[in-house]
Amino acid sequence: MSKENGLTEIWNQISSTADGDIEIRERTAKAIKEESSSYPTTISVVSALDDLISCFAIGGQVKHYYRYGSYTTCERQRSKFWFALKNGTFFNNEEDETNFNDIGELEKRKKVQEFYKNWLLEDKAKGSSEDVWNERRKPLNSPFKE
């Protein structure tokens, strides 16, 4: 799925909601535009392994069971780890960011950005609590008094 197709799909889902949700649609569109320009170009194998181990650890399983009522197979973390093994590095070297002479390196960076973009699109498609609750624009004067 290319970037344009993914964003178009999300936009179609957003625009097919009720007409009263125009403000929510505008905020979501703004968030997609802001987030699409700020994806990392490198992925660390070590951090992906840390995420995978913490998911399979007892604490990660207990947290998932508490939140969702079932244990997890850590599919998302496993896919990130395997992607990092194929396209990532073992360190995060910032000095190496300006070396664009290698075509393979540029392709690898594009793949990493696509990976993170797809993660964002999956998260946006799943929805969040913002779909149910309205954001309070004005603070309450005395929130704990009846």
> pLDDT digit of tens for each residue in the chain (146 aa)?
565 666 666 666 666 655 556 777 677 767 766 655 678 888 999 999 999 999 999 999 999 999 889 999 999 999 999 999 998 887 655 545 555 556 777 788 888 888 998 988 888 888 777 777 888 888 888 888 86
- Cβ atoms of 7 and 121 within 8 Å: the answer is yes
- Cβ atoms of 124 and 35 within 8 Å: the answer is no
Largest CA distance in the chain: 66
pTM of structure: 0.60
Q: Is 99 helix (H, G, I), strand (E, B) or coil?
A: coil
